[in-house]
Amino acid sequence: MVDVAVQRDVHTLRTTASGRVPAGEAVLQHHDDTLKGTGRRRLTTFAEPGLGGPVVAFTELFWLNGQLKIMVQHGTVVHPEHRRQALGRWIKVANLYAARWVNPAARWVRAGNTDDNIGRLAINRALGFLPYDTHSDWEIDVQAVRAYLARPG
């Protein structure tokens, strides 16, 4: 159980890291209700520089009540002013340790990584994650599609 102030801090850190605007508490409550209602669980480890916040780093694992063997590593964010001090690495380790007690049935942890996220790649490699599957996202300009479709013949 994470208190409301911590949840709000975690949410602010996550949204600002991805350039989005933080949502209000009603929306956060709705996210939590949806999580519970769809049979999902979340384990969060967070770091505060002193008692009472603010949260400067967090990491999350998710899993389904109906599929305990697989846990999914979601966001890990460290506030820009606190990066490169091993916080990212150690909160992930702490969360994985905690997972052993919270979901002892877990056998696999899945994490996603883009090639250009050097920090996340370094941490995942150091923890022993191995490549399992790869995929490419493709993008095309709509104008190029229109030009292709307008070709004669």
Ligand X SMILES: CC(C)(COP(=O)(O)OP(=O)(O)OC[C@H]1O[C@@H](n2cnc3c(N)ncnc32)[C@H](O)[C@@H]1OP(=O)(O)O)[C@@H](O)C(=O)NCCC(=O)NCCS
The end-to-end CA distance of the chain, in Å, is 64
CB closer to ligand X out of 6 and 77? 77
**Closest approach of Cβ 72 to ligand X, in Å?**
12
Percent helix, strand, coil in the chain (nearest 5)? 40, 20, 35
**Closest approach of Cβ 89 to ligand X, in Å?**
3
| # residues contacting ligand X (CB under 6 A) | 18
Question: Which string of x and - marks every residue 89-128 that binds ligand X (by CB under 6 A)?
Answer: x---------------------------xxxx-xx-----
> What is the CB neighbour count within 10 angstroms for residue 144?
9
Cα–Cα distances (Å) from 41 to 64, 71, 107, in that order, read: 6, 10, 16
CB closer to ligand X out of 86 and 147? 86
Contact positions vs ligand X (CB under 6 A): 17, 75-78, 83-89, 117-120, 122-123
